[in-house]
Amino acid sequence: MRTDEASHSADQQDSGLRGDGGVIQLVSPEGDLVGDLDFDPWVEDVSDEQLSSLYEDMVVIRRIDTEATYLQRQGELALWPPLLGQEAAQIGSARALRSDDFVFSSYRENGVAYCRGVDYGDIVRVWRGNAHSGWDPYELNMATPQVIIGAQTLHATGYAMGIKNDGGTSVAVTYFGDGATSEGDVNEALVFAASFQVPVIFFCQNNQWAISEPVGLQSQISIASRAKGFGIPSLRVDGNDVLAVMAATRLALHRARNGGGPTFIEAVTYRMGPHTTADDPSRYRDANELEIWAAKDPLARVRALLENKGIFTPELEASVAAKTDAVAKEMREACINMPDPLPMDVFAHVYSTPNTTLETQKEHYLRYLDTFAGERSEGISR
């Protein structure tokens, strides 16, 4: 699938920016192609085979999400942040990126991690409590998930400043939720990105709920409209439409690569599950609301499109099912068979170079462990 947006001219790149107007949609909830002169060209190269691949991606990450939820309920994970309902937003955007683009995500972008090639065991490693982080950011060009709400937007903006100073063409992309837009970090990142016109995409997944608070409580206008106050062009896209999300992301990437600076994308979607597995959304959310959004299910939409095009075959369905089963099995086995960390591993990778404070803490902890028979970790130098 093409990830190079250079075929589009500079006058095209700003023609469809919609921060105030209607939501960008290319595929209706019934699976019909809607048609949009501004955004259809950005996905005209997506073949039937590639569309089928996008569907497979979405089914796979939903299965990853479901399996991880089961693992948490069975005591194998301490916590899990579900992405149920946000598959199109994550797959449509992640599959538009180049390998040298750098992703800065929150804790919910496990679908993006899948697209970046993160091992299934590494996706759940932190949630099992076995490591400080799940993977090496520099191997995959994706930072490990940020739990501090909105902090990753500052990291992305700083990285993008480095890209610009180095004269590079890669782009920093940061993912966050609607609730994060109320955080000072996000607003500071928007100020810096606009001031220095750096190549960064702010990708907000507006899933309607910041834990138990509805989006309407924190924003009296569309979130995309708020970006204009910082001088940043914005797009408001149907986050349950994988093609619309891909088109919007490709446009934003093209702007960034060609000196157009930052873009803010609001993907309007819905968190169909709890905020985390420690949350009970039935305490604050109307069941009728969930029913309304279930009719807009991103997986059902792309499947309907495939059916309308006559390419959703029994063979495709069987192939996707086999892939999801294999992924779920591999992730479950990786999780359950993951070795427990040694006691002294808590000090590993905290600092890039040794320092006396850390060494003193290690010494004190070793003495503490010595008071418990068999608890001391061997192989750690004093």
Q: Which helix (H) or strand (E) holds 156?
A: helix 151-166
Angle of helix 242-257 relative to helix 48-73, nearest 10 degrees, comes to: 100
pLDDT for the residue 132: 83
CB 372 within 8 A of CB 366: no
Closest by CA position to 67, among listed 133, 129, 127? 127
Is 175 tagged catalytic? no
Predicted structure pTM score: 0.90
pLDDT for the residue 131: 87
In 10 A of CB 74, how many CB atoms?
11
Q: What's the residue count for the chain? A: 382
pLDDT for the residue 372: 86
| Catalytic choice (250, 255, 257, 275) | 275
| Catalytic choice (257, 271, 301, 303) | 271
pLDDT for the residue 293: 95
Alpha-carbon distance 24 to 359, whole Å?
Answer: 55
pLDDT for the residue 16: 44
Is 55 tagged catalytic? no
Using the CB atoms, write b or e for 35-65: b if 16+ within 10 Å. ebeebebbbeebeeeebbbbbbbbbbbbbbb
pLDDT for the residue 5: 46
Quote the DSSP letter at residue 205: E
**305 CB burial (10 A radius; 0-12, 13-18, 19+):** buried
pLDDT for the residue 135: 94
| Catalytic choice (73, 132, 284, 349) | 284
Lookup: tokens for 335: 């999780």
φ/ψ of 236, rounded to 5, equals: -120, 115
pLDDT for the residue 22: 82
Low-confidence ranges of the chain (pLDDT < 70): 1-21, 373-382
Alpha-carbon distance 334 to 330, whole Å?
Answer: 6
Alpha-carbon distance 167 to 235, whole Å?
Answer: 26
Is 367 tagged catalytic? no
**131 CB burial (10 A radius; 0-12, 13-18, 19+):** middle
